[in-house]
Structures are given as structure tokens and as C-alpha cells.
Amino acid sequence: MATFPARKDCYVRAVESILPQVDRLCICFNEYDEIPGNCPKSDKIVAICANGKNGIPDLGCMNKMYWIEDYAGYYAIVDDDIIYEPDYISFMKKGLKHYDNRVVVAIQARILDKNAETLKIYLKD
């Protein structure tokens, strides 16, 4: 996740919705000089500031990828302004497993109807 001061109030709700679903949540605070005080406390959270002054450039939403080479397994890109469904990560993994992990599965800025006919084609039980 990457966030910035304009979303200082909404990112916390996004964190709280996705945190129970992941092993680790990496948050890049763009334009910040320090981790904000409202950042949820959890051993699962790894947080950095990216402001250009500390050697980490502010690349906006691209900073979600800052850690990609550090972790094996699934790497989910999440937004700071979305409240995630409780089964979001398991749903996305199901899509990957359907194709033997040979694809990239992405949903961007959409309200997802899990009963939609197009999804049934790809995510058969």
C-alpha cells in the first residue's frame, strides 16, 4: 500500500480491512517525514516514509512495489482508499490458482459482484 497526507483519514480503514487477510502489510507513506501517529499498530505492518530527503524517492502509487523483491509467494497490491471485503485475498488467490499461478489477477476501481456471470466462467468452484 502507498498513501499520502490527503488520505490520512481513509487509509486507516483500508488497513484495518486488509490486515487480517495478509501475513504482512507494507505501507509506504509518501510525502511524510515520519510514520503518522494514526498508523495501526501490528507486528504484521512494515512501514516506511518516502519523501526523497531520506533516500527513498516519492514515486506515488508505484511505491506499492517497493518491497516486491523482498517477498516470495503472493504479493497483493492494495489501495489506501478501499474497504476490502473479508475474503478479498482468498478470492484473488483463487483466481491465480485457477490458472496454475501463471497469470496476474487484478481488479482496479471496480465494485465486484462475485455472482456476475463473467466471473463464474473464470472462478468455478
DSSP for 3-36, written as a single string: E-GGGTTTHHHHHHHHGGG-S-EEEEEET-SS--
Q: 125 pLDDT exceeds 50?
A: no
Q: How far apart are CA 73 and CA 13, in angstroms?
A: 25
pTM of the model: 0.81
Q: Where are the domains of the chain?
A: 1-81, 85-125
What is the mean pLDDT of the segment spanning 43-67?
92
Q: Is the pLDDT of residue 124 over 70?
A: no
pLDDT at 32 over 50: yes
Mean pLDDT of 90-111: 79
For the chain, give the mean pLDDT: 86
Kindly give the interhelix angle for 88-98 and 11-18, rounded to the nearest 10 degrees: 60
